[in-house]
Amino acid sequence: MIIENSKDTNMPELQNGSKVAVIGGGPAGAFFSFFLIDLAKRMDLDVHVDIFEPRDFFKPGPRGCNMCAGIISESLIQTLATEGINLPPKVVQRGIDSYVLYTSTGKTQIKTTIDEKRIASVYRGAGPRDLTKAKWKSFDGHLLELAIGKGARHKKAKVAGVNWRKGRPEIKTNDGESDLYDLAVFAIGVNPANLKMIEELQLKYRPPKTAKSHIREFFLGQDRVNEYLGNNVHIFLLPIPGLEYAAVIPKGDYATMCLIGNGVDGDLVNSFISTLQARRCLPEEVDPKGSCRCSPFINMKAAVGAYSDRIVFIGDCGATRLFKDGIGAAYKTAKAAATTAVFQGISERDWNRTYLPTYRLIENDNKIGRVVFAVNGFIKSRKYVLGGLLRMVNGEQQRPDSPQRMSGVVWDTFTGSAMYRNIFKRTIHPSFLFRFSWNTVREISPIGRNQATKED
Ligand SMILES: Cc1cc2nc3c(=O)[nH]c(=O)nc-3n(C[C@H](O)[C@H](O)[C@H](O)COP(=O)(O)OP(=O)(O)OC[C@H]3O[C@@H](n4cnc5c(N)ncnc54)[C@H](O)[C@@H]3O)c2cc1C
Query: Which atom of ligand 1 lies closest to the CA of 29?
Result: 25
pLDDT, position 63: 85
pTM for the model? 0.94
pLDDT(395) > 90: yes
pLDDT of residue 133: 79
Q: What percent of the chain has pLDDT over 90?
A: 83
Strand arrangement of the beta sheet that strand 94-96 belongs to: 71-72, 119-121, 94-96
> Ligand 1: which of 245, 316, 317, 359 to mutate, most ligand atoms within 8 Å of CB?
316
Q: What is the pLDDT of residue 9?
A: 56
Beta strands (DSSP E) in 166-222 are 168-173, 178-180, 183-186, 209-212, 214-219
pLDDT at 292 over 60: yes
Tell me if 120 CB under 6 Å of ligand 1: no
User: How far is Cα 426 from Cα 420, in angstroms, rounded to an integer?
Assistant: 10
The arithmetic mean of pLDDT across residues 167-195, rounded, is: 96
pLDDT at 456: 39
- Identify whether the C-beta of residue 437 lies closer than 8 Å to the C-beta of residue 391: no
Q: Determine the straight-line distance between the first and last CA of the chain, rounded to whole angstroms.
A: 70
**Separation of alpha carbons 19 and 310, rounded Å:** 11
Average pLDDT over residues 137-150: 97
Distance of CA 202 to the CA centre of its chain: 29
Any ligand 1 atom below 6 A from CB of 320 = yes
pLDDT, one tens digit per residue, over 350-388 is: 999 999 999 999 999 999 999 999 999 999 989 999 999
Which contacts qualify for 168-171: CB closer than 8 Å, 24 or more apart?
A: 168/2, 168/310, 169/21, 169/201, 169/310, 169/311, 171/21, 171/23, 171/52
Confidence of residue 417 (pLDDT cuts 50, 70, 90): confident
The amino acid that residue 52 corresponds to is: F
In order of 10, 199, 314, 389, 426, the CA distances from 396 in angstroms are 60, 54, 40, 11, 15
- Is the model's pLDDT at 239 over the cut of 90? yes
Asked whether the predicted pLDDT for residue 1 surpasses 50, the reply is no
Confidence of residue 431 (pLDDT cuts 50, 70, 90): very high
Which residue(s) pair with 180 in the sheet?
A: 170
Domains of the chain, start order: 19-57+139-210+299-367 (3.50.50.60), 71-137+214-295 (3.30.9), 382-455 (no CATH)
Substitution candidate for ligand 1 out of 35, 52, 66 with most atoms within 8 A of CB: 66
Q: Please state which of the ranges 15-24, 130-139, 206-215 shows the lowest mean pLDDT.
A: 130-139
Confidence at 314, pLDDT banded by 50, 70, 90: very high
pLDDT of 420 higher than 50: yes
Q: What is the mean pLDDT of residues 107-111?
A: 94
Q: How far is the centre of ligand 1, averaged over its atoms, from the C-alpha of 142 (Å)?
A: 15
pLDDT digit string, tens, across residues 21-42:
999 999 999 999 999 999 999 9
CA distance 184 to 348: 13
* Predicted local distance difference test score (pLDDT) of residue 452: 47
